[in-house]
Structure 1
Amino acid sequence: MERGAILLVAAVVVFVAPVVRGTSHLSFANDTQQVNVTRAGCGVTALCVDQPGACDPAGNGTCLFASVVAGPPAAPNGTDLYFKLRGTSKGYVALGLAVNATEGTSELFLCGQNSSHGTFFFRTMQRNNTNAALTPAERRVTQIRGLVRGDVIECEFNVPGVNATDTRSSHATTTFSILLGTGPLNGSTLGPFNVSLISGPLNVADPSSNVPTTPSPATNATATATATPSGASSVLLSHGEQHTAISYSSPWML
């Protein structure tokens, strides 16, 4: 009961006084207004997810976009992840990480605006993936930056020591489903998280994890074989790639 009260008080402090820059588990960058969310590096240096697909976060539309860059693994403590998030809402936009998006819990990172002040705030929450209930969570997040322009909310933040398995494991893993969505702000209370996108399991440390691959058409392979001169040997290379979904039965730790 005492711990629950502490979490509740911490959550209220973050909302009512965002300029105080949150509680001890959150730390803001000095240049909080220096936010630049673009598609630069998608599929090469950053893993990107968006709704609608291939939308432009640098434009003025309703693009809901997130990118993540992973630092080097540091088992057994996990991997540092560097996020950029952009969306439109009068309340908040949020990104979630889940080992299993249909059961267990997701860790949510919320970037929002206090509409009465036009100021930015940041929250960490836990989502029950079965009933969608939100509860406060004190997840350490560093280098938080945020910018509000009308209904457009942009933010950047670092999440240290991410691990999809028990942190005592000798091998940290970084395969998660990513959730993107928005929610309202009802006075001083967060409204429900409305999910717009749930990705399949993605290795967030691999920028190309969700880049579609195109197998070589069978007709091309047949034509190549037919065109091979008599008596010559040929090797047909398949550039297709199959991805196997990985599921985890153990709870994940952030």
Structure 2
Amino acid sequence: MERTISLLISTLVLLVAPHVNAQFNFTRTTCEMSKVCVTDPNNCDPAGNSTCLFGSLKVTSQNPPNGFNLYNELSGMSSGYIALGLKPGQGNTTLYICGRNDTNNETFFSTMLLSGENNTLTKLSTSMAMFPGNMTAGKIQCVFNVTNLNATTSTRSSQDSTFTVVIGNGSVTDGVIGNFMKLSSRGPLDLNNPANTTANTTTVPTTTMSAATSVMPYHAVLVLLGILGMTVLGTA
């Protein structure tokens, strides 16, 4: 519970005006140098490849003993949503979801908990803010920050940057987030040492995780406890 609350109140998104598509130039050029990358198919490059499901994670700063800040890129084809997940050694997976709300054709961002026991999804927050997203011809792209991330669950006296990273997609029907389909998994990985993660890529058999959660519209307001400002994201 402690770790779940920590992730919930420390997830930051960059606010922008409604209906404005951000422009991204995602590439795997610096993968395993300055950022950890997870892709499906393996080693695909989102630059010029619309079918590449791509997630990247880059540690931007350290906040010992509380944790570290993480800058994330996510890109892929889906008529519903794409997602990147972080799972500590012990505990459930936190999914960061970017998608299209089929009831109003607007993009949305949501954070959900994927239970390791029954593979169900549970919403971690009741509303999400506007974020820099882009959706063109079925291709969804977004960026987001996670602050004070720590894989340690029993104590906050130490910092742990080791997670298993998953990426996948799913459907959105009548504004409801559907089952999560895991397509690729890597780890456990030390996100703070991307150069040492080259040998841990696994394309997983198609699996689905059940969910029945309504999505929040693009223009909803996200209230994060303890967060007073807005984080301006740099480029990866």
- TM score, norm. by length of structure 1: 0.67
Matches within 5 A, 1:138-153: 138=125, 144-153=131-140
Partner of 2:65: 76
Counterpart selection for 2:74 from 85, 89, 103: 85
Matches within 5 A, 1:11-22: none
CA–CA separation in structure 1 for the residues paired with 2:191 and 2:127 = 19
Q: Report the CA distance between 1:189 and its aligned residue.
A: 0.8
SS, match of residue 184 in structure 2: strand
Structure 1 gaps of 5+ residues are 1-22, 214-254
Cα displacement string for residues 18-71 of structure 1 (whole angstroms, at most 9, x for unaligned residues): xxxxx9975433386133321131111111111111112122432111111102
Identity of aligned residues (%): 35
Q: Which has the higher helix share?
A: 1
Partner of 1:231: none
CA–CA separation in structure 2 for the residues paired with 1:179 and 1:24 = 20
Counterpart selection for 1:61 from 34, 47, 50: 50
Alignment RMSD, CA only? 2.8
Q: Report the CA distance between 1:168 and its aligned residue.
A: 4.3
Kindly tell me: are residues 27 and 139 of structure 1, through their superposed partners in 2, closer, same or farther at Cα, counting changes over 3 Å?
A: farther
Number of aligned residue pairs: 189
Matches within 5 A, 1:150-165: 150-165=137-152
Q: Which has the higher strand share?
A: 2
Cα displacement string for residues 132-170 of structure 1 (whole angstroms, at most 9, x for unaligned residues): 100010399999421001111011000011000038432
Kindly tell me: are residues 54 and 85 of structure 1, through their superposed partners in 2, closer, same or farther at Cα, counting changes over 3 Å?
A: same
For 1:179, the aligned partner's letter is: V
**2:39 is the counterpart of 1:50:** yes
Matches within 5 A, 1:1-254: 27-30=13-16, 33-100=22-89, 104-138=91-125, 144-166=131-153, 168-212=155-199
CA–CA separation in structure 1 for the residues paired with 2:28 and 2:152 = 30
Kindly tell me: are residues 75 and 42 of structure 1, through their superposed partners in 2, closer, same or farther at Cα, counting changes over 3 Å?
A: same
CA–CA separation in structure 2 for the residues paired with 1:50 and 1:67 = 9
Structure 2 gaps of 5+ residues are 1-8, 201-236
Kindly tell me: are residues 25 and 191 of structure 1, through their superposed partners in 2, closer, same or farther at Cα, counting changes over 3 Å?
A: same
Kindly tell me: are residues 25 and 162 of structure 1, through their superposed partners in 2, closer, same or farther at Cα, counting changes over 3 Å?
A: closer
CA–CA separation in structure 1 for the residues paired with 2:45 and 2:105 = 24
- TM score, norm. by length of structure 2: 0.72
Contact 1:181-1:197 within 8 A present in 2 as well: yes
CA–CA separation in structure 2 for the residues paired with 1:110 and 1:143 = 13
Structure (1 or 2) with the larger CA radius of gyration: 1
Contact 1:25-1:138 within 8 A present in 2 as well: no
Greater RCO between the two (CA within 8 Å, min separation 6)? Answer: 2
